[in-house]
Amino acid sequence: MRTTTLGRDGPVVGRLGLGAMGLSYRYAPTLRDRSKAVSLVQEAVDLGVNLVETAGAYAAGDNERLIGEAIRGRRDEVVLCTGGGLLGDADGALRPAGGPQALRDAVDESLRRLHVDHIDLYLLRRVDPGVPLEESWGALAEQVWAGKIRMLGLPVVTVQEARDAEAVHEAAAMAAEVSLFTRCGLDDVVPYAVERRIALLAGAPLGRGLLAGALSTYDDLAPDDWRRTQPRFAPRAIRHNFALTQAVAQVAARHEATPAQVALAWLLRLGDHVVPLPGTRASYHLAENLGGDGVRLTEQDLTDLEFLPYAAGAPEV
């Protein structure tokens, strides 16, 4: 797998990471299997994936416990990414929690749940509208100086907000939902990240499963799947979006690849600093996703994908 660095002087990571949220949070609770989830994380590391992303808000902290269990005895093989600034309950509801003390507590709780003595990359998950960004960022900078965190990452912010935060402490990464279906911010945030040598962690790079081509109707979702509550997966929207995936499949056919691999290859073409974080619960999808690093899109492919219509429905929150 090709590699890049987090920030100017950060660790080397593979160009594809692993987003762990879906292993224990939001997607079809009745289909979860904890032992298989732990095994999948370990398999990903075996295959060369060294950036693993979780969060304290995922499943009220249980997602971090799962990752801690999976990497036990393999800490030096993993660049561990988690984050705070949001509080989540087991039902999936989230609320901002960007106060300095809340963030200090969140860092300590993450260390405890993950069974580690430091976190490689800590993301501020959301800007709390009730707390100045500089206060939240400053509280996390204190945790870096205390040795609990190695590097910091920003959430979706404006370029000016990013500059204000970096006046307090540099950012090694920015995390945002970016995919062929969610291209917001590519005209300003990405150039800023390139200029500052900040890694862009692309969450939900497969459109939360839509770009994999497996979901064609609302009824394809399990009855308890959180995506049933999201506009992009509403009956009319999902039919429209599945049609877009078929256009991606036409590009994939030229390379004997899958739509998911093309979606990831498109993200990788945005720049060496872009690191997609696809998530999955299946070994065969893990192998499929990693194959996206081997797809080399042509200029014609990129033109066809650039003119892909926008997806129906707002991005998930």
What DSSP string describes 220-258?
A: GS-TT-GGGGSGGGSHHHHHHHHHHHHHHHHHHHHTT--
Among 25, 27, 58, 192, the one annotated catalytic: 58
Residue 27 bears catalytic tag:
no
C-alpha closest to that of 57 among 80, 83, 23: 83
Helices (H), 71-177: 100-114, 133-145, 159-166
Assess contact for 148 and 119: CB atoms under 8 A: yes
Gap between the Cα atoms of 37 and 33, Å rounded: 6
- Contact in structure between 130 and 102 (CB atoms under 8 Å): no
- What sign for the dihedral angle of Cα 182, 178, 293, 56? negative
Instruction: Please choose, from the candidates 34, 25, 71, the residue with its C-alpha nearest in 3D space to the C-alpha of residue 49.
Output: 71
What is the rounded CA–CA span in Å between residue 23 and residue 182? Answer: 22
β-bridge pairing 94-96 and 86-88: antiparallel
Do 179 and 278 touch, CB atoms closer than 8 A? Answer: no
Catalytic residue positions, numbered: 58
